[in-house]
Structure 1
Amino acid sequence: MGATLRGLDGRGFIVREGGLGRVPSGFRAVVSGARDRVPGLFGARLHSVYLYGSIPRGTARVGISDLDLLVVLRDEPTDADREAVRVLGAALDGEFPEIDGAGVLLESRTRVLSDLERYDLGWFVACLCTPLLGDDLAEHLPRYRPDSLLARETNGDLALLLPRWRHRIETATDPAELRRMVRFMSRHLVRTGFTLVMPRWNGWTSDLEEMAEAFAAYYPERAHQLRTAATLARDPAPDPTALRTYVDDLGPWLAKEYTRVHGAKAPRPA
């Protein structure tokens, strides 16, 4: 059944976003480069590879957007594996000027399909990832609705992230690093603000401006902050003042309100 309003199908399930057919022509070379190189890193251990983010959604901007990949192995990743994908991301970023950074997530098939990750990493694969190589793990995952359980398990850990963010902000001096931090933290806060209200809004979107507007309808007193974060997520500047505002004001408030509304996220192993 086709998609309806607000990213849901006719039964109220979130429609999987993205597709290889939506990859803009300016990004096809870097996608092909990633697809060709990953198998050589892992051989038979490789289970599947996915694209996510603006490139498979068709909204990427040349020279501004980054390449986002998820690599799933048949066994647990090692430190050497994580270094290999770090090097891969740096190599792709250096070779293809159409992207501004390349991030490669690395997970195991067991973790993606685990009960603990069903409404976090599993949902991410089933709804936000576009298959690039291998067997699609979405076939082993349930359908998802924009309910409070999904909200809690996807973004209910902001309070745990804020101390790490503070440390990064205190030690960052390079403008390029600050710009990446502004983009990352802005995106995260906008998405968290959106999933806070997602069950009431009753839908799904990955458009940051639309996320901010959905949030604004329920928290008008914080609307300007989330709209500003959405703008910075799209066009980041190396602004430490914005980052400090995130960890001193918007972030703590959002973490507290999130727990009040949806409860605490299930703890993960250390």
Structure 2
Amino acid sequence: MTDIKPIGSLCPVDDQGYIINQSDSSKINDRFQEVIRLVTESCLSALSEEIHSIYLRGSVPRGMDIDGVSDLDVVIITYSEPQNLNLDWTEETEQLINERFRFINGVELGFSPLSEFEQTTHCSMIPFILKTYGICIYGESLIHKLPDYKPDSSLANEHLIHLAPLIERAKQELTGNEDTEDIEDCCSWIMRIIVRAGLALVIVQEQSYTRDLYPAYELFTKHYPEKEQDMRTALWYAINPLSNAEDILDFLNGFGSWMKAETENWLNVLNPYREPHLPL
């Protein structure tokens, strides 16, 4: 069981208000080098002609990894649409790395098509993540070609526009599910989404952003003190996921429903036409 600790920080911004990327290859702990090598080799072996570039994001390239808590977040950019590729090998690769390297809390391989980076006038989550949190570990880096981003309504929309369907998806995955590991994975995933959505609700007022859970929770409760205990529970479940599906469903039907309603209020004001991506 992991205690809630006041760790993490808000993204720094430059004098024009754009988020500064703090990731750097020199900050990566040496013990991750073999993991990174194996991940890269596995990707290239399986998709040798399809990979444009590979990136690390999250706490590891910022030198903020925590033993046994941090995972390795990898983004692979492919020439083809990922749904048209055979990605069956990824589960075996993730499992192999999880078993071999106990100091990480798993590895996550995410895939995005190169076409997603052609449009640079609107905010989009994966390009945003690479620009503000990523480093390139293979191929031609796209980071310098991407626009700069501010903590504003366009960014907030990326977290809020899909919140309701994601909560409903989690509820569907949990209903009747008896696979303990699957339940815990779903719990951690949806609770992280909820905590970050809580921050998104107040991005415009705070003009601040973070992917770190604790400071996201803090900024949310500053504006919604009456919901502090609910969001703290979501934070707790994100780092200590439940294995009882019914308990998670109860929480999603309660606080999750409130978050959906508050998100609708936000969208009614700042994105009334429900555009998937807002202009930068």
1:6–1:138 CA distance, 2 compared to 1 (3 A)? closer
Deviations 1:180-236 (A, max 9, x none): 222212211111111111121111222211110100011111111112222332333
**Contact 1:26 1:98 (C-alpha < 8 Å) held by counterparts:** no
1:5 positional shift: 7.3
**Contact 1:113 1:122 (C-alpha < 8 Å) held by counterparts:** no
**Contact 2:11 2:20 (C-alpha < 8 Å) held by counterparts:** no
Aligned partner of 1:206 in structure 2 is: 211
Residue 54 (structure 2) pairs with residue 49 (structure 1): yes
Q: Return the structure number with greater relative CO, CA threshold 8 A, min gap 6.
A: 2
Aligned partner of 1:148 in structure 2 is: 153
Deviations 1:122-172 (A, max 9, x none): 212211322211122122221111111221124321111122111111132
Q: 2:170 aligns with which of 165, 173, 179?
A: 165
Any stretches of 5+ residues in structure 2 without a counterpart?
1-8
Supply the distance in 1 between the matched residues of 2:181 and 2:69 (Cα, whole angstroms).
Answer: 13
**Contact 1:18 1:128 (C-alpha < 8 Å) held by counterparts:** yes
Instruction: Give percent identity, aligned residues only.
Output: 24
AA aligned opposite 2:221: A
Does 107-116 or 66-75 show the bigger shift?
107-116
**Contact 2:175 2:245 (C-alpha < 8 Å) held by counterparts:** no
Does 17-26 or 30-39 show the bigger shift?
17-26
Q: 1:30 aligns with which of 32, 35, 49?
A: 35
Aligned partner of 1:249 in structure 2 is: 254
**Contact 1:73 1:108 (C-alpha < 8 Å) held by counterparts:** yes
AA aligned opposite 1:100: N
1:240 positional shift: 3.2
1:144–1:82 CA distance, 2 compared to 1 (3 A)? same
SS where residue 52 of structure 2 aligns?
strand
**Contact 1:52 1:68 (C-alpha < 8 Å) held by counterparts:** yes
1:11-160 aligned at under 5 Å gives the runs 11-114=16-119, 118-160=123-165
**Contact 2:81 2:113 (C-alpha < 8 Å) held by counterparts:** yes
Supply the distance in 1 between the matched residues of 2:23 and 2:160 (Cα, whole angstroms).
Answer: 21
Aligned partner of 2:4 in structure 1 is: none
AA aligned opposite 2:262: E
Aligned partner of 2:188 in structure 1 is: 183
1:256–1:17 CA distance, 2 compared to 1 (3 A)? farther
Any stretches of 5+ residues in structure 1 without a counterpart?
none
1:70 positional shift: 0.7
Report the RMSD for the aligned CA atoms in angstroms.
2.5
Residue 217 (structure 2) pairs with residue 217 (structure 1): no
Supply the distance in 2 between the matched residues of 1:125 and 1:115 (Cα, whole angstroms).
Answer: 13
- Number of aligned residue pairs: 265
AA aligned opposite 1:139: H
**Contact 2:166 2:190 (C-alpha < 8 Å) held by counterparts:** no
Supply the distance in 1 between the matched residues of 2:85 and 2:100 (Cα, whole angstroms).
Answer: 22
Does 135-144 or 85-94 show the bigger shift?
85-94
Does 123-132 or 240-249 show the bigger shift?
240-249
Supply the distance in 1 between the matched residues of 2:144 and 2:244 (Cα, whole angstroms).
Answer: 42
* TM-score (structure 2 length as normaliser): 0.84
Aligned partner of 1:266 in structure 2 is: 275
AA aligned opposite 1:181: C
